[in-house]
Amino acid sequence: MRKVKVGVLGATGMVGQRFMQLLAGHPWFEVTELAASERSAGKPYEEAVGDRWKIGGEIPDFARGKIVKECKPGLDCDLVFSALDSSVAGLIEEELAMAGYPVCSNSRNHRMDPDVPLLVPEINHDHLEAIKGQKLGDGFIVTNPNCSTIGLVIPLKPLLDSFGLKRVFVTTMQALSGAGFKGFDLDIQDNVLPYIGGEEEKMEMEPLKILGRFEKGRFLDAGLGISAQCNRVNVQNGHLETVNVELGSKAGLDDVISSLKGFNPLEGFGLPSAPNPPIIVKEEDDRPQPKYDRDAGEGISELARGMAVTVGRVRECRILDYKFVLLSHNTIRGAAGASILNAELMLKKGMI
Ligand code: NAP
């Protein structure tokens, strides 16, 4: 099979760097174009990144000498992944879709548009139908959720399907890399920052679309209430979240745990980045922890590493029904890996 040629917009940033790492040697995709701002355009990737390579390991060989381009039509690729700063992502992504490119975006700009799927392959691939309503020429835009939202919706999905869900309270402890390059300037030593601009709103709204239905050409929100509190903590990668849920019907603790453990809707799809299973339930009292659990995930390839959500401390709640802790890797499952999994699914479905 000829590999699909892909471009990465925002290739120099935190999420862009993760794309480089995950796409190096991808069995289905070959990176033919790298693009970023005017500051980086015209330079070899290694020079454009300079001392900003922050994700560990080395810059992959294929990327080092590649000349970074501007984010404009004319890129030699069949698909673009967007890891652009949200201040510019909206218009650039539209322009590229209008020029005929499928765009897989990490940015918030189009997530809640009425004709744009907010895709999580384990949850809502029927939402891809919404693309038919897009008026973007021959191209289209598909988005993946905010990095905290995705960790939350994956365990919520089996609970919703098995027992129904009424209310969810979630408190996050989010890693520095979730703030992109800005994360390195935060006053975070000996500190916790109890505010992340726009994050609580995203966590309260995005799951309703993801867990809802797409029917007769429109999205119908899932009928549950979510209240979120978001904090930045001094961890490099991996968002930890504590969650309390009120179910729609009574369920025993064993049933709740079985429903989380038994969730595996992509089994047999053969997608290289799909974790099998997508939820790992830990028994230890003191897990998950970012340092030890953020790279969790196994599948048919190494690309599934960091793609699973780890859940622990599942127990009864005195006020609502159950509570638990979850952890997901914010730049893998929460960003680049999610986008790549979306593209793998779309390729499998013949959309690319
Ligand atoms: P980042 O580290 O700040 O990187 C931003 C990227 O956008 C850089 O490649 C930068 O290129 C490029 N850029 C900035 N201004 C531009 C312009 N005017 N034209 C073209 N390119 C421009 O941000 P990030 O954390 O990687 O996040 C990227 C996107 O993903 C954001 O929309 C963010 O909200 C979203 N996201 C991030 C995470 C996460 O965990 N970090 C998770 C989910 C979603 P230069 O290097 O040339 O300036």
The pLDDT of residue 329 is 98
Read off the pLDDT of residues 244-279 as tens digits, 9 standing for 90 and up.
999 999 999 999 999 999 999 999 999 999 999 999
Residue reference for tokens 């979510």? 226
Question: Which residue puts its alpha carbon closest to atom 9 of ligand 1?
Answer: 10
Tell me how far CA of residue 164 lies from CA of 160, 207, 235, 277, in angstroms. 4, 14, 33, 21
The pLDDT of residue 339 is 98
Record the tokens describing residue 52, joined without a space. Answer: 């900003």
How many Å apart are CA 140 and CA 44, to the nearest integer?
29
> Where are the chain's structural domains?
4-146+336-348, 147-329
3 state SS of 200:
helix
Is residue 7 over pLDDT 90? yes
pTM over 0.85: yes
Expressed in angstroms and rounded, the spacing between residue 303 Cα and the centre of ligand 1 is: 22
14-23 vs 337-348: helix crossing angle, rounded to 10? 50
The pLDDT of residue 1 is 76
Class of domain 147-329: alpha beta
Q: What DSSP element (H or E) covers 327?
A: strand 322-328
Expressed in angstroms and rounded, the spacing between residue 331 Cα and the centre of ligand 1 is: 12
The pLDDT of residue 311 is 99
Read off the pLDDT of residues 120-174 as tens digits, 9 standing for 90 and up.
999 999 999 999 999 998 999 999 999 999 999 999 999 999 999 999 999 999 9
**Exposed (0-12), middle (13-18) or buried (19+): which is 260, by Cβ within 10 Å?**
buried
Give the model's confidence band at 336: pLDDT under 50 very low, under 70 low, under 90 confident, else very high: very high
Q: What is the mean predicted confidence (pLDDT) over 33-46?
A: 98
Active-site positions?
147, 239
Q: Verify whether ligand 1 is closer than 6 Å to residue 332 (CB atom).
A: no
- Judge whether 110 and 90 are in contact, CB under 8 Å: yes
How many Å apart are CA 98 and CA 300, to the nearest integer?
35
Question: Is the four-CA dihedral 328, 163, 221, 224 of positive or negative sign?
Answer: negative
Torsion angles phi and psi, residue 345, rounded to 5: -65, -45
Nearest to 97 by CA among 75, 119, 125: 75
Q: Verify whether ligand 1 is closer than 6 Å to residue 178 (CB atom).
A: yes
CA 223 to chain centre: 23
Expressed in angstroms and rounded, the spacing between residue 162 Cα and the centre of ligand 1 is: 37
The amino acid at residue 168 is V
Torsion angles phi and psi, residue 242, rounded to 5: -105, 135
3 state SS of 52:
helix
**Ligand 1 mutation target, pool 38, 54, 70, 85, most atoms within 8 A of CB:** 85
Q: Verify whether ligand 1 is closer than 6 Å to residue 184 (CB atom).
A: no
Q: What is the mean predicted confidence (pLDDT) over 338-352?
A: 97
The minimum-distance atom of ligand 1 relative to the CA of 39 is: 47
The pLDDT of residue 227 is 98
Judge: domain 4-146+336-348, CATH 3.40.50.300: no
Q: What DSSP element (H or E) covers 15?
A: helix 14-23
Q: Verify whether ligand 1 is closer than 6 Å to residue 83 (CB atom).
A: yes
Expressed in angstroms and rounded, the spacing between residue 106 Cα and the centre of ligand 1 is: 9
Read off the pLDDT of residues 77-100 as tens digits, 9 standing for 90 and up.
999 999 999 999 999 999 999 999
Question: Which residue puts its alpha carbon closest to atom 4 of ligand 1?
Answer: 13
How many Å apart are CA 345 and CA 269, to the nearest integer?
8
Give the model's confidence band at 184: pLDDT under 50 very low, under 70 low, under 90 confident, else very high: confident
Expressed in angstroms and rounded, the spacing between residue 300 Cα and the centre of ligand 1 is: 30
